[in-house]
Structure 1
């Protein structure tokens, strides 16, 4: 396993605060990569495409993989600590969750494109959970997604660190102090 120690994945089910944490990390000057799934959904809706989680799930999965590899590749050679709003194993977790047999290029990508061994996972948090135009899942689906993600990252050999349910600044401080102390 050739892990890129400066690339950190932040993961969890939908609506648990990942994007808010990424935005706070950006404000603090960190290099961050936005979640590819939301961008794909926006692009597909605007272009009347069907590569959507509620339409062609297989096509959506392959687009997520393609975009995730692209963002990984773009950031792997810089020396900056970089935070990703989800990593490539999230795409594998999604495929497993929807009952899609992972295509060989997905299982190969999970092995080839590795993040820091420490992955930050945010637990489901009903008090902050909201649906929107890109997030249509119920809170129970968010819990199921969290479990699938947790199992997938564990199966890929990552060390999951659960980020406590705190205010955004405190959550970011927790992440940064964890990195400094490892």
Structure 2
């Protein structure tokens, strides 16, 4: 949804900028000004001295200009964060083997993988997020380990167990996985 909105907004902004820039360029090169254009001729400036200094002495002018620019900057930053933010995969497309496809909810696959990984020895908590594309998902796994567990053993067990089960049960040729291991910190015990 956000991708479509992003494309539409970029298209509209692009068309407006091309129309205005093309008009300025055409008029600057000697073409007649369109009827909707603000100025008449080639030697006309976009903002003359009177237009640039018209509101300068008004008390409300600069706060309004600063507020509008601040809102535009915040909207641009929001848009940038929305575009760069990694998305969760809503569904995974599975080849059923009979030239048909089935879709599996991404949250269901995340939950199944997290639940199975959470039952591994030494894993106190597991969190899974699927990213990527519908046909080629990627997994990000966070395992919270008991302090007494060897991280390499936990990683091997995760790879050979839950990740292999999910990949084979979903019929995925590969499931690239980024795994983060953290150790659960227990408060120190007082010895008397």
On whether the aligned pair clears a TM of 0.5, the verdict is: no
Q: Which has the higher contact order (CA 8 A, sep 6+)?
A: 1
Which of the pair has more CA radius of gyration?
Answer: 2
User: TM-score range, shorter-chain basis?
Assistant: under 0.3
TM-score scaled to structure 2, two decimals?
Answer: 0.24
TM-score scaled to structure 1, two decimals?
Answer: 0.25
Higher strand share: 2
